[in-house]
Amino acid sequence: MSEWFILVALIAGVVAILIAAYFARIVLKKDPGNERMIEVSGYIEKGAKTFIKVQYKVLAVFVIALALIIMFFIQSPKGSIVNWEQSVAYVIGSVCSMLAGWMGMYVGVKANTRSAQACTKGVKAGFDVAFFGGAFMGLAVVGSALIGISIVYLIFQTPLVVLGFSFGASSIALFMKCGGGIYTKTADVGADLVGKAEYNLPEDDPRNPATIADNVGDNVGDIAGMGSDLFDSYVASILAAMILATFLGFVDPNNESTFIVFPLVLCGVGLISSVISIYLIKWKGSEDPGKSLNYGTYIATLIFAGLAALFAFLMTLGATGDIILKIWKNYVATLFGLGSGILIGFTSDYFTRDDKKPTHNIAESSKEGHAVVILSGFAYGLISVAPAAIGIVIAMVFSYLLDGIFAIAMAAVGMLSIVGTIVSNDAYGPIVDNARSIAEQGDLGEETIRIADRMDSAGNTAKAITKGFAIGAANLTVIALLFSYNEDAKQRLFDLGLPTINLSLLNIDVLIGAFIGVIVPALFSALLILAVQRNAAKMVDEIRRQFESNPKILKGEEAADFTKTVSIATKGALRELILPSIISIAVPLAVGFLFGVAALGAFLAASILSGFVFAIFMANAGGSWDNAKKWIEDGNLGGKGTEIHKASITGDTVGDPFKDTAGPSINTLLVVMSLTATIFMPLFAALSPFGLIIFPML
């Protein structure tokens, strides 16, 4: 009977997509503002579409190549001669992820100017437009993920084919995240270095040739990139639980798919909770947009707890005592996961708020100059890893005590269950950021810009929480994927009549895998940062060239040439995303071939550990530098234009690629590496289960 419960997920997915379409219609109907605003918004839209189109063309080649590799080199989980099942699922996953990114970006670029225009009527009006734009993205992402997984599972009846779907979503997310992250910070850093630091132009000044590129970056990096990222984590968390349920052999005598279906059901419930919370936020309204967004997160959590209990109860009907107990245990584990996600979000909030000690101290340290701002931000960023790690450890410990590793996977599902709300809140940020910029460029007046500013700062607060949440969720997900990799490998080696996988840290192959794994997130971050730095330098040269060759631009008498800067950002991002992307797929393959299945497992584990440290550190250090600078700009310590302010800008500029390029890409890196390992493991198991370099047991 429990198979039918998948309908909960499927129906929730379809409903979410319909509601999303309805939100899109509402947004599109709004007044896009004056001519200048439409023009600016048109530039942004064109820039974003150009980038995504070029990127999707490259991705199409990549997807086809990988689909063929999967088809012909990986053994079919259904026993077919060619592995068309995983290959097709892979293509579907890729397409779903691309679609979700595209749609979010599309509505985002429409919502920005409309939200700016609505701000002329007040906070509430402006908030609604931006919020609906964000909610569209949230519901579209989660809806398409649930529909995709449900259909693939219903057709193929095994989570191992869903693995193909998840790998598709993940490989796209990697490109979107790296490319978008490089794009957005190339423009932002370039604009800041020349415009703010050298010419004292304000943020979003239309005279700055990189302003449009910066706006485009918000859309391709923060909306499309972030959407694919959470799509990816979301799918992977469900997949990990489904695989574990299969391999651990959780058999309900009546109905053996109960625990395979359970994560999907809970995610369906989470989506319904997100939809309700979105309506409640809208209905409640508020003059304080920041509060509204956070209120949405709590409300969604509470509704989820209630609704999930109801559906868990429905699933216990007709089940035996053991199974009933197991369902309830795992229900509680999802709540642990969700609670710990919120805890991690709040840690991030604490470390990045200007009224709390860390960011306050960082701002104060600007008095000692550029170097000291960097040192204190760096140090607090590292310290912030500790409480977040405690959050993850608590979630792991308590889930495990409830029902072992499956419950850990369910905790990850729980963390991500309300991802609809999280994505909505997160996509709200870049929309209002753009709205603010358009209000400035469209001359909507002081009052409207002030309102847009307030909305923007609410977006930043919400973002700190959602970012911590996203990292925590991705981390728990990859831990669950590590367990499912191991269970899958065990089964595969058993089938081949080989000794089982042993991940003891004292085995030399495991230790070597771990050594390589621990450096990958560091190397990957470094490459992304250098990419931003190289591109930003080009952007700086171009901006300087424009200002110097045509003094009328600075006087505001002639328009800057936006197309050049947009083109620099586009080309740079596409060129620079290649090396990091290759690393994230090639290194796990190399470790698997050279050192075998166990080394690959250890590689994953170590990369998860160090990836967690780097992701949290970079996100929080970047966030607190940003807010320290904003606090000074609010008039503290002498305010704008002082040496103290300049030092704080240095912190913010260093933090930009930390928090918006490298830090958030690590999530995706970890998921891609885990899925690459899992999907190619049958190949390693068949070719070289102990690696091409075989260590004798001495």
Q: Under 8 Å CB-to-CB from 288, ≥6 apart: which residues?
A: 458
Shortest separation between residue 441's beta carbon and a second copy, angstroms = 25
Nearer to a second copy, 163 or 605 (CB): 605
Helix (H), strand (E) at residue 485: helix 446-495
Residue 393 lies near a second copy (rule: CB under 8 A) = yes
Nearer to a second copy, 70 or 480 (CB): 480
Helix (H), strand (E) at residue 352: helix 321-352
Residue 606 lies near a second copy (rule: CB under 8 A) = yes
Q: Of 68-76, 279-287, 409-417, 482-490, which part binds a second copy (CB under 8 A)?
A: 482-490
C-alpha 435/C-alpha 695 separation (Å) is 60
C-alpha 75/C-alpha 160 separation (Å) is 11
Q: Are 320 and 254 in contact (CB under 8 A)?
A: yes
Residue from 325, 386, 559, 686 that binds a second copy (CB under 8 A)? 386
Nearer to a second copy, 14 or 693 (CB): 693
Shortest separation between residue 408's beta carbon and a second copy, angstroms = 8
Residue 213 has which token pair? 């590129």
C-alpha 200/C-alpha 203 separation (Å) is 9
The number of CA neighbours under 13 Å toward the Cβ of 420 is 36
Shortest separation between residue 192's beta carbon and a second copy, angstroms = 8
**Interacting residues with a second copy between 607 and 666 (CB under 8 A):** 609-610, 612-613, 617, 649-651, 653-654, 657
Q: How far is CA 669 from the centre of its chain?
A: 11
> Minimal CA–CA distance to 419: which of 220, 631, 135?
135
> Minimal CA–CA distance to 232: which of 385, 101, 103?
101
The number of CA neighbours under 13 Å toward the Cβ of 16 is 37
Residue 601 lies near a second copy (rule: CB under 8 A) = yes
Nearer to a second copy, 442 or 691 (CB): 691
Nearer to a second copy, 403 or 542 (CB): 403
Q: Give the position of tokens 């977040």.
A: 388
C-alpha 625/C-alpha 622 separation (Å) is 5
Nearer to a second copy, 102 or 614 (CB): 614
Q: Under 8 Å CB-to-CB from 579, ≥6 apart: which residues?
A: 527
Nearer to a second copy, 169 or 392 (CB): 392
Q: How many CB atoms lie within 10 A of CB 696?
A: 5
Q: Are 611 and 445 in contact (CB under 8 A)?
A: no
Residue 193 lies near a second copy (rule: CB under 8 A) = yes
Residue 685 has which token pair? 């198991």
Nearer to a second copy, 82 or 382 (CB): 382
Residue from 532, 553, 628, 679 that binds a second copy (CB under 8 A)? 532
Residue 486 lies near a second copy (rule: CB under 8 A) = yes
**Interacting residues with a second copy between 342 and 381 (CB under 8 A):** 365, 368-372, 374-376, 378-381
Residue from 91, 141, 236, 527 that binds a second copy (CB under 8 A)? 527
Residue from 344, 392, 619, 681 that binds a second copy (CB under 8 A)? 392
Residue 145 lies near a second copy (rule: CB under 8 A) = no
Q: Of 79-87, 208-216, 301-309, 389-397, which part binds a second copy (CB under 8 A)?
A: 389-397
Residue 522 lies near a second copy (rule: CB under 8 A) = yes
Nearer to a second copy, 155 or 582 (CB): 582
